[in-house]
Structure 1
């Protein structure tokens, strides 16, 4: 498979501030972009690389937001920084805590729009589910987020800002004088499984994840970052080459007829085209395997025949299959498969040689579970009849 031109959409993207518009936010700038704005503000070119490294560590390794606290920089240089730049994160509007420890944040970004972010603590790790768009363009019929219209892409700063503000809340920035590697990692994994389709916002997602992986900053391994796509085939190769993180695919069906209804992007790139792209991913990205996400919908995609077809479809692809009990939401046109049916489905996959963990729903009491995210201000109340019609059930 060869790289293709990036997918474009008719989206409104908020540009980074130009100098004449006010202070430039440094959060989300790549190292090269940071170098360019520092030089434009008067930093001598010979010093620029060093200054980038110093400022980068203060922002992403130590979590510092005040230029005056950057004590290895000369005082007059700090004054210059404060006069030209800012270090600003999205605003936390509300924070909800589930009975199981899951935290859901409603986060306000530029323009007054809001997205949701979820932190899931587990015994051996802490996973942060972040958003890449305001709303979603894919209209997957089982997904609550998909009933919200797409507003715009998030910037790289708004994406990595979600990681930083949760680290604030967890108190995870290293204590002064301590090596960050000595700190306990409460936020150890990132999954791009929140609002939006990450591969329809590729450049901003890539730049944000490069910041997350940078060894002089937040320093997360690429194997601790998972990008979930519904199947934007032309961008899968770019993801392998330019990000190299783990890949998850919202699969959810074993025939084009059913997947067309559940995941409408299948009408553009069908199952065969998607699988062809996925077969090259592990080798190009040096990833161990691909995760196939499969939401269990009663009498829709949960039969023994579906399980057997799934095994045949992914044959030859290093993979695991995450079975996701459907997380119901008000007006949802589907029901969750029974526990016995899910276990029977999982058993067929397991006996075929694939790991088939059944995801434990987390944060259901605060609508923070998979497929339930939907920001309050953008929430459009739809009747069950409307939702059924859009899902092709009426």
Structure 2
């Protein structure tokens, strides 16, 4: 018996063929699970009775469990999940203009020990397996359908306009959701059901591997998960809608190019001395090696690299650091995301003043950098960049 959620579609086809079944059965089963979120075998109406009877012998359907969730004042949702062996980790739903992003974790804890990161303060407990990574996407999307009032509010925050079949109206008559909000639960239920039929799941249109752990330290499970997320018969995420963020495992960055997803690099300093003091990985692969690898990624994919830069008061936020950062990154087609430090329990680092943040931002902008100041999302529930943990005591 195997866990269904650990299999790619190719592996599922091979597995069922080894049991004497035709390949189309694998595709049917895949669609029921990943397109329709149906795990009840009795509801899989186009499967033969004999095939259904065999499925409990072939598969387990283990997914993580959602233990708790928290809703930020800005609409961010943080989830605490548990694995079968009792380990805990976090995932986040982030609304922003035009999109709803799922931030997934790849490990419980982290080996890299970045000094400013709350996850980095924990030792690595275990790498998540494929079912636990894919399961985050599956479960968070299911959650939205079970809570249509939350889904509706998130859609408003993202500014997405959805056409719906209005209850009681002819089948193809569309009306704007925003013009027809009702406190009637049946109305919201019908809206969600329509959206489910059209898109298979809630309109989560971006995936970022920016949660707990270093994705490239768990490459086998992460890249199989990406394969499952991109499968057209299932979730059908475009590679352009999936971003993998790394602290700089230079030897594995070519795998990101091969996978067809976008690359983000946690740079966070403009020279090796500072970067090595806050990110031990820099002692193995320095900035020069990292930038060379990023240049190769751009050559192979034609995509920009995103450099993430955490602004730490008195350490990485000076105008001189901005000048150095521009000089470093101008050789790589890129955009720069500036992230003001998000405080967490026990940290000695501070967030720069708004004036310092603005000066840093403007310095890069005036030099011609493609630079974005990341909006702080979810910090009141410890869901922002660098705040995720498996300790689950910062919210108590």
Query: TM-score normalized by structure 1?
Result: 0.85
C-alpha distance in structure 2 between counterparts of 1:254 and 1:33, whole Å = 44
C-alpha distance in structure 1 between counterparts of 2:198 and 2:32, whole Å = 12
User: Of 255, 263, 266, which aligns to 2:271?
Assistant: 255
C-alpha distance in structure 2 between counterparts of 1:107 and 1:125, whole Å = 23
Q: Does 1:198 align with 2:215?
A: yes
- Contact residue 116 and residue 373 of structure 1 kept, 8 A: yes
SS at match of 2:85: helix
| CA deviation profile, 1:24-57 (whole Å, cap 9, x unmatched) | 22013112221233234x233xx1x211111111
SS at match of 2:7: coil
The 5-angstrom pairing of residues 1-394 of structure 1 reads 19=1, 24-40=2-18, 42-44=19-21, 47=22, 49-171=23-145, 175=193, 180-181=198-199, 186-241=203-258, 243-287=259-303, 289-376=304-391
- Inter-CA distance 138–43: structure 2 relative to 1 (3 Å threshold): same
Deviates more, 1:355-364 or 1:197-206: 355-364
- Contact residue 229 and residue 237 of structure 2 kept, 8 A: yes
Query: TM-score normalized by structure 2?
Result: 0.85
- Contact residue 148 and residue 378 of structure 1 kept, 8 A: no
SS at match of 2:67: strand
SS at match of 1:332: coil
Query: Aligned residue pairs: how many?
Result: 350
SS at match of 1:357: strand
- For residue 174 of structure 1, report the CA deviation from its aligned partner: 7.9
- For residue 186 of structure 1, report the CA deviation from its aligned partner: 2.9
| CA deviation profile, 1:47-105 (whole Å, cap 9, x unmatched) | 1x211111111111111111221111101110111232132321001111111111110
Moved over 6 A (4+): none
SS at match of 2:5: coil
C-alpha distance in structure 1 between counterparts of 2:393 and 2:127, whole Å = 14
- Contact residue 308 and residue 339 of structure 2 kept, 8 A: yes
- Contact residue 142 and residue 201 of structure 2 kept, 8 A: no
* Corresponding residue number in structure 2 for 1:11: none
C-alpha distance in structure 2 between counterparts of 1:205 and 1:214, whole Å = 14
C-alpha distance in structure 2 between counterparts of 1:256 and 1:37, whole Å = 49
| CA deviation profile, 1:258-317 (whole Å, cap 9, x unmatched) | 000111100000000000000011231342x11110010011011111111111111221
- Contact residue 304 and residue 345 of structure 1 kept, 8 A: yes
- For residue 244 of structure 1, report the CA deviation from its aligned partner: 1.4
- For residue 178 of structure 1, report the CA deviation from its aligned partner: 7.1
| CA deviation profile, 1:133-164 (whole Å, cap 9, x unmatched) | 01000110000110011011111111010000
* Corresponding residue number in structure 1 for 2:171: none
- Contact residue 195 and residue 202 of structure 2 kept, 8 A: no
CA-based RMSD of the aligned residues comes to 2.0
C-alpha distance in structure 2 between counterparts of 1:232 and 1:63, whole Å = 35
- Contact residue 103 and residue 209 of structure 2 kept, 8 A: yes
- Contact residue 298 and residue 335 of structure 1 kept, 8 A: yes
- For residue 177 of structure 1, report the CA deviation from its aligned partner: 11
